[in-house]
Structure 1
Amino acid sequence: MGTHNFAQDPHKMATRLNEKKAADLRPRAEGYEVRDEVVPGLVLRVGKKGTKVWDVVVQTGPKSRKRVRLGTFPSLSVKDARKAAETIKENSIGAGRAREVRTVGELFERYAAARAPQMRSWHDVQSVWHVWGEPRLARVRLSDLSIHHGLDLRDHVALHSSPLRAASVIRYLRPMFAWAADERIIDVNPWATLKAREKAPARERVLSPSEWQALWEAARREPYPFGPFLKVLMLSAQRLSNVAQMRWDELHGDLWIIPREKMKATRTAKAAAHEVPLSSALAALIAEQPRLGPYVFTTRGDRPISPGSRQKDRFTAAVNAAAAQANGRPLLPQEVLADWRFHDIRRTAATLMTGGGVSRFIVERVLGHADRGVTAIYDRNIYRTEKRAALEVLAATVDPSHPTSR
């Protein structure tokens, strides 16, 4: 955030940056910088050793400005750097005064601006912050933050939820402080040695056919957006975050193309866009939804829904209430729908497809899992027809009149 003495290049003072132009910038005897013509104030600095750093210049007064470091290229892409720069500028205090990062809450805002566009798990990070981190950490000054705040948070979550939840909270929030140290926002990561402790065992829960059907009926009775969302989750077998954040511009006729940045991958650079050929039922269901903004499922129009435990509990209560009414008596313990999560739907959908005669190989393609076999290097087939047929099999599990169920 200090003053930088970079040589000015009259031929590269300003340009409309893109990924190729940024990648092609080469180091010189003296560092230099390139201004982006799309977002005023966004600058890419190229050091003598080739390091490329994003800065945004914001007004701090009528005649004064300050630089805010956003991250490095290519870790922070041109598109994401623009988003982060706009967020920093929008969050500036008063007429152009840049907001200093004083508290953990303000650090989270900076972290969100820089990392949210790149993280597939951002929905989970944001949820953990709002439920657990924000109430206990938001007002803590960064200069006062220590490992004891992390220990206190872990103990608090373990007491009011479970040790497993406490461990996941630490795993989701701890990287924020490592990032802050890397970006020189703080000198030392105070949570570097904080242990998460508990680790959840591999989950194997699969809904029974009666539970699957009862959950579908509960989704059918639930209004937009959460009822249709649950039905799409069941009919597509895709991840919770991808369905919840589905955009209209990801839909191309009877194809849903999930962008590569939303796909889970061990190595982010190897992630690829995932094509989901829609079954007839799934395509019709999506087409019925109102267009209230860029997201298919939204309550505000400008942001996607964030389904969590509250919505899950509402579906659970609806299923059990309907079952009790149908039986004319209170349910026995073994009859109650319990111990299920949204991700269990994906596992159940995969099980139903293989049970309906779909090969495991095609189910893996539907789920968007990477094919790590040697043959995958040579086999470039996208299996669109086979994946669509598999999702038609899945649609038949909730619609007895569906052709594939006959």
Structure 2
Amino acid sequence: MNDSDHAVLGQEFADYLARPWEVEDPPALFRRLRNVDPVFKGPGNTWFITGFRAADEAYRHPGLSRAASARQLVRPMGLAGVDPPAVVKVVDMMMTWIIHTDDPQHARLRQLAAPHFMPKAVKAWQDRVEMLVDGLLDQLEESDSFDFLEEFAYPVPIHMILSILGVPFEDHQLLLEWVNRSSGINTVVGGTAQDIKRSAQEALVEEAEYFRRLIAQRRLAPGNDLIDALIAAEEDGDRMTQDELVGMVMLVLGAGLHTTAHLIANTMLCLLSNPDQQALVRANPGLARKAVEETLRFDPSSAGQPRVAIEDLVIAGKQICAGEQVVIVLRAANRDPERFDEPDRYLIERNEGHHLGFGTGIHMCLGNWLARLEAVTAIERAIGRLDGLQLSTERLPRSRTQSRALEKLPLRRVRAAATL
């Protein structure tokens, strides 16, 4: 490939990453880029990683920094001398989020929070998840048509996150509005970029103040929920600062909401689009776990986070210079034929080993066990109780976000005729 063709392909891929909602499923583009080079240098000194082994290596490399990436992408949300002091303060707080830090700061915060998200701790929430899912399904069983995303996939993580944190449920609409507005900085929703930025800033300030007040109340009257556990989080005499605590609660709420809802919706869509795989789950509900794992490989809701090289380093034989950005393209790496047989097919009984749907290395998703519990319980029970499910439309527009997010998932039930 000559330099001109290389530049055209790099720009085409950069355009796709900027507007992924315009392309329903681009494995051909993944293959073209990977065939040229699984570690491909695109425009603007940005590297695109589409090979599985290279992605796995990049996730684990200490020279690729999330903190440096956050300084480029998050810090401009609130700049001293440019933005209001309240905005600068909340962005200072966001820079403490574990997804925006490197070791040793990352390790310290993760050690304080991780015990509350490990499998043993998450298992204690199983009864809550099952009760919630069954209650939602009781309502859907009476309907012949419904929006699976709005009426089921979203309520599961919303109710669970608020219940686990110990946040009053009557505030859920307000919190959901703040989360949606604050995520608008990475979303194209109409209006000018400045309008979107200002709305996101205001939402972040309002949400942070809400949690500061709530945490202050809980210090005076402790309960038995996750916020109380995080207040008391201690390791070798080290406690979270107030900003770190507020930031952790905001991160748990935001990170556990959209990605889990769309994991549930994407899994249902994959099963409806592959009737043979849906039949396997209906015959053996225990396969819902494998269906969720295959969705995390085949159509993960997360787009992953970029990194910036803080030193000259080598990934899969490619020299990456300090200051260059590295984008690990999750959906492409998870479709690598060197790792997975028939990678563009949705096959729930795969045995090729782990995928990268939750990342790996030190920044592997902290809430992955909770997301799995919610998604598996939701899919297993929905498939078991809602027979005759079909898509209500052939066209399913996706939200204009970097995530794999449907705008809605309208379904109908074709019930079997009663026999005399």
TM bin, normalised by shorter chain, reads under 0.3
TM-score normalised per structure 1:
0.24
Work out which of the two has the higher radius of gyration on C-alpha atoms and give 1 or 2: 1
TM-score normalised per structure 2:
0.23
